[in-house]
Structures are given as C-alpha cells and as structure tokens.
Structure 1
Amino acid sequence: MLGALAPQLTPVPISTGVATILVAVIMTMHVQFAAWQQGGYIILAVSDFMGWKRKSEHHDRFSRGLVTMLGASFALGGSLAIFAVVILFTGLWSHFWVTLLRVLFWPLLAEAAAFVGEIACLYPLYARWEQLGRVRGLRVGLEVLLFVNASIQMLLINMVASYMLTPRPAFNLPLIMFNPTMIPLEIHRFVGNIAFAGAIIALVAGIRLLRRAKAPQLRAYVDWMGQYGLVWAIGFTIAQPLVGWEYAKEIQLHAYASWYDMMLGGLSVAFLFQVFLLGLIFTGGIFYLWRRVRASGFRSPALAVCTALSFLAWLLISTPSSLAWSYESVFAANANVPIWQGGLLIPWGAMIPWKLTALVTFTGVAIVAITLYLKHVSRGRLHWGDAGKSQAVALIAVGVSISLIMALMGYIRENSRGPFLITNHMLINQQQDFTPPSASGPALNGPASGVSIIMPSDLHP
C-alpha cells in the first residue's frame, strides 16, 4: 500500500553537460576557499607567535587582519560546500553521492565533525581577538588547533578524491582510505595550500601597492606584507616538483589510462599549460626577490643570475614535445620524427631529461634565491616602503598563477578519469537511474567493455 503511494522519482531536467559545469564552477570556487583557509591558518599561527615573541608590530597587525579575512572567507567557502552537497550532489549526481556515502561513510562523518571543530576554533578568534590576546599562549594554541581541524578535513576529503581515481574493494575500508594515490595527493595539496595562502597574501599586497598607498606607514606595512606572503608562497612551492613527480608516478602505476591522457593524450596540452604556470610562479617570485633588493639600493649579482636561470628553465619546461594536440595525432600523421626531419616531434620538449632538468633547476635556484633574500632581510638592509611597480606586478602575477594552476590541476585530475566518475566502476552518465538493482552481490556486470558498475545497495564499507 505504501509502496504504491510512494512518488516515482524522475531525473532532474538538466543535461549531464550542464550538471557537470555547475559542479565544476561551484567546487572550483570551494576548493580555492578551502585551500586558502587551511594555508591561512598555519600562517596565522606562525605570525601571531612571532608577533608575540619578537614584539613585532607588523606581525601583530598582519595577524589581526588575517583572522578577520579568514572569518569572512570561511562563511563563503562553507556555504558553497553545503550548497554543492545538499543541492548539486544530491539532486544531480545522486547515484554517485549515495555510493560515496556508503563506501566512505566513516571518513565523511569524521570530516563533518572536523568541520564543526573548525567553526568552534575560528569564530572565537574572529569575535574575541583582543580579549584572547590577554592570554597569548591560549590564542596561539587555538590557532594551532584550528589548523589541525582544517588539516584533518583536507586529509579525509583527499581520501575521497584519491579513491575516485584509484579505487579499492568497497568492503575494505583501510585499503579504500589509503589507496595508492592518497598520500601523494595529501602531501601535494598540503604543501600547495600553504603556498596558495601565501600567494593570495602577496596578491592583495601587490594590488594595494599599485593603488599607491601614499601614507608612509601604510606603504611600509603593505610592502612588508607582500614580501612576507611571497616567501611563504615560493618557499612551499619549492617542494612541489618532487611531490608532483611522485604523485604522477603513482597515477602511472595504478591508473595508467589517466596518466596517459594527462601526459600524452587529450589533456597533455592542459598539462603543458600547468607547467608553464609553474615556471611563471618560480620566475616571477625570484624576479621579485631580485628587484626588491635592488629597490632598497643593494646590488645582488647572485639574485640576478638566479632570475636568469629560472627564466631559461621556464622557456625549457614550456616547450611542447610535439606540434600536435596529442601523441596519437603524431602517429596518425605518420610524423613520429623530429621537426628537422619533417616530423612533429620537438626533442627538447620531452619530459626526460629536459623538463626534469627544468624542475631541478627551479628547485635549486629558488632555494638559493630565498636564502640570499632572507640574508638581506636579517641584516636589516631592506627599507620597507621602497617597493615599486615592477615588484607589485610580480606579486600579482605569482598570486594569479597559483590560483590558476590550482584550478587547472583539479580540471586535469577530474577529467583524466573520463568517462568514469569512479575509475572503472561508475560512469558519468549513470547518475539519475532510479531503477532498483536486479541482482545481488558485490557488483552488477556492466556492458561488454567489462566495466563493473557499482550500485549503492551493493556496497559494504
């Protein structure tokens, strides 16, 4: 009787393409907010601690402004996540979302608890900053706890993202949580989020410098803030070539089709643009360090050499490996020979050894450049307020580039699984099928391709 009265579920009248675009836009915005929050929390804790112990007015002022910005941005980023889960995932991607909930129920529950913990730590800081300053150690401890909560959330959500690319049996939760790409992805995003937060700080400072903050005290503070954010950004980006290489290797070993699409297939042009942006981040950042020292009247031939080497590495890593959209196009044109033999291949655009050489160069040069710059800072050689237009533009370029590279990396990772949402287990176009499963067991057999299509009722986390 009740079954007869139950409403018949019908698909939401939105195409898969539109549903995909909606999720892509909302989640790209949310991911950038989430990255900013996690990275901003550790910068907040370190800055507040330094202001406390070193009696630094700049660090104190910066910490107060940063916690205000983090409180406001959390409300926006959190709202996007809730909208995506309640409306987009449940309404447009219901099969996928219910499957993830069944497979990863406990990690997602823990992630929700950490979300509540983040709120409980952030808003007392946001609303009672001055009062908590009377017990400075307590305030710094609350900031550290805030960062821990955000890091737990990121770890748990990375388990979900990595599972979608390299899934493991649905009945083995430990294998699902610690699938082959989980740890590299976690390190990659952990480091990247801190670099991203530093870059956003540098971006804001660069914009304010271009707007000609005329009051000497304000200009000095904005100048200091810009270089402070940039050091965080470049300092943590140094680790990304090594971490990214390891992540790509795990994808190659455990999801070869996705790796091939990224490196040699339809996504290879997007990947080339990604390494172009990486080169811009390093080159723009090192250029800033050199010109900032010059702005205060000090010559640094070593920083000039670092800038030149970074620029050459940028040119090298930005060179395509062929004059075609993919490696398949090269073979289809029967042009698998170098360009000087009438083919389409550019040998010095290959990943090994040329792009690898560029990555090693970026890492080494950035370490030297930051060391030299901090040496000038520690000796009191820089006068805050001397930064000019070129330094402001460099700060903005680094900030925009890191924001773009984060969005692009997400695009590449998500599209590399196509046509799957969960690699080899769930198709993108299988989202609004409300027909109950006709067989029991761990999975239903898919089409002739041999794909195993998981149904929510078949999963046993």
Structure 2
Amino acid sequence: MPEILEPLGRVNFPLIGNSLVIGLFSLLHIAFASLAVGFMILAPIFEGIDRGDRFYTEVAHGLTRFTLVTFTASLVLAVLMIELFVGLFPRTNSWMFNQFRYPIYLAVAAFFIQLFALYPYYHFWEPIRRRSPALHRALGFFAAFFVLVWVAVLDGMGSYMLTPVSAEGTWGNLLNPTWMPLVIHRFFGNFVFAGFAIAAYAGWMLGRRRGDPEGEAYYAPLLKIGFLIGLAALLIQPFTGLFYATQIRSASPEAYAQLIWGRYRWLVYLQFVLIAFLFIGSHLVLRSIRTERGRTLPGEWILFGSALLMVLFVERPTLRRLFTFALVGLSFFYLYQWREGLRAAGGDQLNRSPVRRLAIGLGIVSLLTYWTMGTIRETARRPDTVRDIISLYDEARTPSYARPGSTPDAEEIGAGGP
C-alpha cells in the first residue's frame, strides 16, 4: 500500500519573516518604479518645450535612457516581490486576484502597450525625430499615459486592501473610497522624488566635473530645473496628503486612529521629520543661490519654527495641519520673493559646495520620505492583509499547504501584513 505523504506546512522566511522580506523587495521596487514613472512623464514634456535649444532635448533623452535602466531593475524586483507574495501569502493573493481579475487584465495590457511605445521612443530617437518630431513626442506621451493606467490599477488594489468595499463585479472594487486620493498623492509624490533626484544627480556630477565649463553648462541648469520640479510638487503634496488622510479617516476611522495613535505612530513622526527637512533644505537652497545677500529674515525663523511645530504636533491633526500649511505658504512666499535671483542663478551660484550638498541631501531625503509614506500605508491595516476581511491569523491558520494541527506563527501575526 503506498505511503500517504503529509502535506507541507506553512512556509516561513528565515530570520526576517514573511512580511519583512516582501516589504524590502517592495521598497526597492517602488524606488525604481517611481523614478521610472516620473521620468517617463517628464521626458516628452521636456522634449515639447525645446524651441531650438538642444538642452531640453538632451535632458529628455537622458531621462528616457535612465528610465529604461530603472524600469528594467524595477521589473525584476516586481517579479521577485510577486513570487514571494504568491508563495508566502497565498490566501491574500488568490483573494486579490479574484477581486481584481478584469482590472488586472487591463493593467497588463496597458503595461505592454507602454513598452511598445517606450522602446521605439528611445531606440529610434533620432530617426523618428527627423521624420516627425510630433510623432516622436506622441510616442512619449502615449507611453506616459499607459504607464499611468498601469499604476492606477495597482493603486486601486493597494487602496482596496486598506478600504475594501462590497461591490458587484471587479470594477466596483477599484472605485473604493481611497483609490483616487492615493492615485493623486502618489502622482505628485513621483515628481517630488524625480525632481529632487535629478537635482541630486546634477549636484553630484558638478562635484565630479569641477573646472569643466562644458559640464557646468549642462549640469548647473539641470540642478535648477530638477530642484524646481521637486519643490513645486512638494508645495502641492500637503493638499493631496490632506485629501488622502481625510478619505482614510472617513472610510476607516479605526485605520486612521491606528496611523496617528497606534504602535507605529513613530513612522508618522519620522515622515513629518523628513518632510520638514525637505522644506527647510529647499529653503536653504533658495537662500544660497539668490543673488542678494542678507541676514536671516524674521519670516525665515517663522518658517523654521513652523517646521518644528509641525513635527511636535503630529498627534494633534488640527494643529499639525495649521503649521504644515504655514510652512507651505512661507515656502511659496520666499520662492516668489527670490524668483529673480533664482532665474538669474548660473554656474557661479549653483556650482558651490553648499548647494551641491543640499541638492544631494534633498534627493536622499525625498527617497526616504517616499519609502516612509508607503510603509505607513501598509501598517494602517495591520494585523490584516485585507482590512476586516483577511487577517494574518487567517493566513497563518489556513495556508495553501496546511499541515493538520499547525498553529499560527505568533511573531508573524504581531509583525503585520505584507
């Protein structure tokens, strides 16, 4: 009589646990993916504003080349992340696929369509531009549009895991209360990171090519443009963040309370510390490159104080928002006040050590901010993988290959969702 083999027990990733390993790959993936999305949108815009000045076309070409590199790395990390998610959280994975079957088909189709537009846009750059610059730009915008479709569906799935709805059909699940706020918030977040990343790269290259007039002529204006993109998006982000937080509070008050007052509230403190650094660092860049010199103005001390009070009142949302928007208002005021100096700033102002270091620092802080915001959203639904539907206890109790009599991993249940 053949021996009956006992089914395999739950798979547990050694040392760091299932949740953390997926989280690490997710963070690496979104770092590359957000840059790819931001650059993919910026490239045809830069190409479109080129009016006889090859600088913007060269920037567009460089961004597209970097997009292909980051896109490839992002894709590899995404595949690894999905494979781990399928193997380590099979119940959640099968539930999500069934809830988003047709939107996933749309996302996959959009992904391949944008590839068919992106690769000719880069690899046949000059031949297509010689025949029709308008066609070439159209390919770039076409790729950007479909990558946004891809991202929007993924955001729909992520938002559903925090604020699920009971809808008829898979398309209704996409329209959950926090989907559009998340799409908008991440859209501008991509530009914060992409803009400051461009400035950081330009600052690093200026440091490497000191004394090279040709390098300074390219990288100094690149630093200024990247900085302005990052700062402009940063000034918008508090409004999109308020919209997103309000929707979370309305749709899932328990999740919102867990964010602000729960065991992971230190992440929210960290987030606002990083945001304060972004605002203060941006102001110091503006102050460093303006043409006129002077003492620190009283309004600047108010700006620094607002940043500090914003952090101190994290657990008092009304006061925190008051100081956040005071910080936004003052930052916009000084951007407008010093606009002429910023417009006139050239290599002499931009290729100085303090400006280069601040630009690199802003790039690093913007990446940390992006990672922290993503992590906060995931902790809001702990100990569930899909809030109020599937918990980590359910996942551990009934894995795909359950061993009779197996018990949940207590450490995994306490750690949180994937």
Same fold (TM over 0.5): yes
Alignment partners' CA distance in 2, 1:137 and 1:6: 65
TM-score by length of 1: 0.80
Alignment partners' CA distance in 1, 2:133 and 2:323: 45
Alignment partners' CA distance in 2, 1:180 and 1:392: 42
State whether structure 2 residue 102 is matched by structure 1 residue 142: no
Matching residue of 2:304: 311
The worse-fitting range, judged by mean Cα deviation, of 257-266 and 426-435 is 426-435
State whether structure 2 residue 32 is matched by structure 1 residue 23: no
For the Cα contact (< 8 Å) 2:9–2:401, is it kept in 1? no
* Cα distance, 1:172 vs structure 2: 4.3
Matching residue of 1:82: 79
Distance 1:280 1:125, change over 3 A: same
Alignment partners' CA distance in 2, 1:305 and 1:400: 29
Distance 1:304 1:224, change over 3 A: farther
Residue deviations 1:9-33 (CA, integer Å, cap 9, x gap): 5433536952111110111111121
For the Cα contact (< 8 Å) 1:194–1:233, is it kept in 2? yes
* Cα distance, 1:302 vs structure 2: 11
* Cα distance, 1:259 vs structure 2: 0.9
- In angstroms, what is the RMSD of aligned CA positions? 2.6
- Write the letter of the residue equivalent to 1:312: G
For the Cα contact (< 8 Å) 1:162–1:181, is it kept in 2? yes
For the Cα contact (< 8 Å) 1:16–1:429, is it kept in 2? no
Distance 1:209 1:292, change over 3 A: same
- Write the letter of the residue equivalent to 2:374: G
Equivalent residue of 1:95, what SS?
helix
For these two proteins, the number of residue pairs brought into alignment is 397
Hey, which bits of structure 1, 4+ residues long, moved more than 4 A?
4-10, 300-307, 434-437
Alignment partners' CA distance in 2, 1:121 and 1:9: 45
Distance 1:374 1:111, change over 3 A: farther
Distance 1:71 1:385, change over 3 A: farther
- Write the letter of the residue equivalent to 1:94: P
* Cα distance, 1:300 vs structure 2: 6.2
* Cα distance, 1:430 vs structure 2: 3.3
Where does structure 1 lack aligned partners over 5 or more consecutive residues? 322-348, 438-461
- Write the letter of the residue equivalent to 1:272: Y
Matching residue of 2:406: none
State whether structure 2 residue 182 is matched by structure 1 residue 185: yes
Equivalent residue of 1:421, what SS?
strand
- Write the letter of the residue equivalent to 1:28: L
Residue deviations 1:77-107 (CA, integer Å, cap 9, x gap): 011112222x212211111111110011111
Pick from 379, 382, 398 the counterpart of residue 418 of structure 1. Answer: 382
- Write the letter of the residue equivalent to 2:264: L
* Cα distance, 1:374 vs structure 2: 4.2
Alignment partners' CA distance in 2, 1:58 and 1:385: 19
Where does structure 2 lack aligned partners over 5 or more consecutive residues? 403-418
* Cα distance, 1:224 vs structure 2: 0.9
TM-score by length of 2: 0.88
- Write the letter of the residue equivalent to 1:425: I
* Cα distance, 1:236 vs structure 2: 1.0
State whether structure 2 residue 327 is matched by structure 1 residue 365: no
Residue deviations 1:392-436 (CA, integer Å, cap 9, x gap): 111112111111011111111101211100001101243363579
Hey, which of these two has a bigger chunk of helix by percent?
2
Alignment partners' CA distance in 1, 2:353 and 2:174: 48
State whether structure 2 residue 317 is matched by structure 1 residue 351: yes
Distance 1:436 1:33, change over 3 A: closer
- Write the letter of the residue equivalent to 1:316: L
Distance 1:436 1:391, change over 3 A: closer
1:3-402 matches, within 5 Å, as 8=7, 10-14=9-13, 18-51=17-50, 54-85=51-82, 87-134=83-130, 135-169=132-166, 171-293=168-290, 298-299=291-292, 307-319=300-312, 350-353=316-319, 355-376=320-341, 378=343, 381-387=344-350, 388-402=352-366
* Cα distance, 1:371 vs structure 2: 3.1
- Write the letter of the residue equivalent to 2:70: S
